[in-house]
Amino acid sequence: MPDDRTAIEAVVQTYLDGLYEGDVEKLAAAFHPTSSLTYEENGTLTPLPRDQWLEAVRTRPSPQSRGLPRHDRILQIDQASPTTAFVKLNCAIPPRFFTDYLSLLKVEGRWQVAQKVFATERRE
């Protein structure tokens, strides 16, 4: 499974680069079309379909265009099977700092994010 780890890391890097650059094509490549992002806010669970999130990314200034520093860090990769993996990471769009939990599945020979659950911390 060493090749899988390299492929998983590549998908995560594509995600982080896409997030920082505001590159919707990179993000779309990293996330399966049926994926969603889920977060909790004020006690409410909010699911956000991938395409709705991509539209939000498309219409906001990217961290790169704003000259913001990167805060990417992979904290954990856990591969449970030849087709299932979990990645925990930190990233940021200051002043918002995120901890992401990415569930990845290998479908048709390609790793993609199937679900993202995240927490946000605001730092001023």
Q: CB of 51 within 8 A of CB of 77?
A: no
Q: CB of 118 within 8 A of CB of 16?
A: no
* 31-41 vs 110-122, strand pairing mode: parallel
| CA distance between the termini of the chain | 41
Helix residue spans in 31-104 (DSSP H): 50-58
CATH of the domain at 11: 3.10.450.50
User: Mean pLDDT in each 10-residue stretch from start to end of the chain (124 residues)?
Assistant: 88 98 98 96 94 96 95 97 97 94 96 97 86
> Which residue segment(s) compose the domain that 43 sits in?
2-122
pLDDT tens-place string over residues 45-69: 999 999 999 999 999 999 999 999 9
Q: Model-level pTM? A: 0.93
Number of domains forming the structure of the chain:
1
